[in-house]
Amino acid sequence: MTTEPAPATQAYLSGLFSLEGRVAVVTGGSSGIGRAIADALARAGASVVVMARGEDRLSATVEELTAEGRRAAWVGADLSTREGVRTAAERAVEAFGEPDILVNSAGINVRPPMDELTEDVWDVTMAVNLEAPFLLGQRFGPGMAERGYGRILHISSQQAHRAFVQSGAYGASKGALESLARSQAEAWSPRGVTCNVLVPGFVMTPLNARLSADPERVAALAARTMIGRNGLAEDFAGAAVFLAGPASGYITGQSVFVDGGLSVH
């Protein structure tokens, strides 16, 4: 038997977690962790703009959200160039106005052995994983601060903190991304904009397709957690809604590990 929450309970939870009236931009929002976060923010009441490459997946994502009565739009974006980032940012604003929430989930995960790491791979990794979040923050962060409310959320990696599975340029980019979040927090949190990071463990997403294809490696990574399994994209929904909403207003500059205890086991 289930019962509906009492009105007072609903009002209390809404005051903590509701995103009604907010606008969110989610990069990488058509697959994996970004897709799960876009869905969660929309279900919590935000109008969501999904930004990524691949129009088919983008349109399918938005169709699913709008079919559920959510407000959603998509923007095709090449986040590997500065012009691509700037163009996508302006197009994103056209849907629902200036965002209150920015989630940087788009990423590139090309990790050759270090002695085979080329400058081209280094450059594109830094462009997508670090420079795009910086440019989007520069575009949207000051406006959030001027309005007195904002939430910036980055998706990082275990490789920002420890070296394994050939961290290479990917690990370096994610370490820098966490430093960027702290710099953004220092700049804008006094004016109501929190900046935080979610740090996944191993999550079965398209970004990790190479490792996912190795059953022994997948099992070994699961054994390193305290929960006893690898992550799923939907494991990030609650943390994202919390860090995007009013309840997290005194949390900023933090790296929050959503990893089943992998990082402390």
Cα pseudo-dihedral 237, 243, 244, 245, rounded to 10: 110
Query: Is 149 an annotated catalytic residue?
Result: no
Q: CB–CB of 184/137 below 8 Å? A: yes
Distance of CA 97 to the CA centre of its chain: 20
CA–CA–CA angle 46, 48, 54 (5° rounding): 160
DSSP 235-265: GGHHHHHHHHSGGGTT--S-EEEESTTGGG-
Residues contacting residue 175 through CB under 8 Å, at least 6 positions apart: 159, 160, 161
Q: Which amino acid is at 101?
A: I
Nearest alpha carbon to residue 199 among 122, 124, 254, 150: 254
What's the token pair of residue 240? 């994202």
Catalytic site residue from 12, 149, 170, 250: 170
77: burial class by Cβ within 10 Å (0-12, 13-18, 19+)?
buried
The whole-angstrom separation of Cα 37 and Cα 240 is: 6
What's the token pair of residue 30? 């058509």
Annotated catalytic residues are 170
